[in-house]
């Protein structure tokens, strides 16, 4: 099927709830957090980044601008999630010029938490903002499906815990105390995870696409198996066996739901994982190749370049450069 023809021995039991299995490995790891005290007039530009971003407004005024939606007012207690880390702006009013966060006073507290101050003449806005990395094993297929902006107030009615969590964040952010930034970061992690899960739950009517496929009783088993063990020597036949279908029926059903064949999907998934591992810098190209089931570094490099258009070494250098960026959320 790929560059390694060995077939796996099948696991005797495969969970029926494939979506839950894929999401159970969902991990958020906070990269940077900042508690912001910004006096009007203020405006900050946030460039595009390969990380999820969130902004929580404890006390406004605050406006969000994206290319897709233009200016939107954020009210006290609002939380916005930008799953793809798109470029955007925050400001105390739509007519305020926006500049880099470098124009603010940034005081780090060690680790990944800082305080951001902006002097002005008007009222003070209190925000808590952050960037998060998402565990690739569970979340990358969802990122391409999610909207560019998710507002917590839009899903609060669908998840009874969102509103009290937002209220708790408001109280914590409004009265700075020892350890407050750390507590806020943990609340933000939990809120983000619940917002994503709520979005998944509310997007259950799709008849095609990744969500429909992972929920399918047969195809979902095969998808979960690929996500659970991407380095195994999967073939269409072995995946069909996991799905409990004949090869032809499985292949047709997989392509109809996902929009591509199982072999192509598995290759892309492996390359996404490979990109993340290469960017982390802790594994060599050869080690990544072994983890993903390739018999040699050369066979992995060929598949990687065929899929991404770049060599593993070039991607590793570029991703490492991005992760070495100065502080910013």
Give the mean pLDDT of the chain. 82
Write down which residue in 145, 173, 201 finishes a domain.
201
Asked whether residue 13 is assigned to any structural domain, the reply reads no
Q: Are residues 248 and 188 in the same domain?
A: no
Asked whether residue 120 is assigned to any structural domain, the reply reads yes
Give the global pTM.
0.73
235: preceding bond cis by omega (within 30 degrees): no
Question: Is the pLDDT assigned to residue 122 strictly greater than 80?
Answer: yes
Label residue 74 exposed, middle or buried (CB < 10 Å: 0-12, 13-18, 19+).
Answer: buried
Q: Are residues 138 and 232 in the same domain?
A: no
Q: Are residues 187 and 287 in the same domain?
A: no
CB crowding 148-168: b at 16 or more within 10 Å, else e: ebbbbebbbeebeebeebbee
Q: What is the pLDDT of residue 139?
A: 56
If DSSP codes are grouped into helix, strand and coil, which group holds residue 228?
Answer: helix
Question: Is the pLDDT assigned to residue 120 strictly greater than 80?
Answer: yes
Maximum separation of any 2 CA atoms in the chain, in Å: 71
Give the domain CATH number at 36. Answer: 2.60.120.10
Using 50, 70 and 90 to split pLDDT, how confident is the model at 5? very low
Q: Are residues 305 and 229 in the same domain?
A: yes
Indicate the range of 29-33, 137-141, 150-154, 200-204 predicted with least confidence. 137-141
Its domain, for residue 237, covers 217-323
Q: Are residues 230 and 159 in the same domain?
A: no
Is residue 211 within 8 A of residue 205, CB to CB? The reply is no
């Amino acid at each position: 099927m790929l560059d390694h023809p060995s077939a796996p021995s099948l696991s005797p039991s495969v969970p029926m709830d494939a979506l839950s299995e894929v999401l159970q490995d969902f991990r958020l790891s906070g990269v940077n957090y900042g508690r912001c005290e910004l006096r009007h007039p203020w405006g900050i530009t946030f460039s595009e980044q390969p990380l999820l971003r969130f902004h929580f407004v404890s006390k406004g005024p605050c406006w969000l601008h994206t290319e897709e939606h233009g200016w939107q007012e954020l009210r006290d207690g609002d939380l916005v999630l930008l799953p793809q880390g798109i470029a955007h702006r925050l400001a105390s009013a739509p007519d305020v010029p926006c500049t880099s966060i470098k124009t603010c006073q940034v005081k780090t507290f060690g680790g990944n938490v800082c305080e951001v101050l902006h002097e002005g003449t008007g009222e003070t806005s209190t925000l808590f903002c952050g960037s998060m990395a998402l565990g690739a094993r569970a979340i990358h297929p969802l990122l391409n499906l999610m909207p560019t902006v998710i507002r917590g107030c839009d899903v609060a009615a669908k998840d009874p815990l969102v509103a009290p969590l937002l209220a708790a964040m408001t109280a914590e952010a409004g009265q700075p105390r020892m350890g407050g930034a750390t507590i806020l970061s943990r609340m933000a992690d939990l809120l983000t995870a619940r917002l994503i899960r709520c979005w998944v739950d509310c997007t259950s009517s799709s008849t095609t696409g990744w969500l429909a496929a992972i929920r399918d009783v047969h195809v979902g088993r095969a998808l979960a198996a690929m996500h659970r063990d991407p380095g195994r020597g999967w073939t269409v036949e072995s995946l069909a066996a996991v799905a409990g279908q004949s090869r032809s029926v499985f292949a047709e059903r997989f392509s109809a739901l996902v929009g591509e064949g199982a072999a192509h999907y598995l290759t892309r998934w492996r390359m996404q994982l490979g990109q993340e591992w290469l960017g982390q810098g802790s594994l060599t190209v050869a080690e990544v190749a072994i983890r993903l089931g390739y018999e040699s570094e050369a066979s992995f490099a060929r598949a990687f370049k065929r899929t991404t258009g770049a060599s593993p070494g070039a991607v590793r250098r570029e991703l490492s450069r991005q992760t070495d960026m100065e502080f910013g959320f």
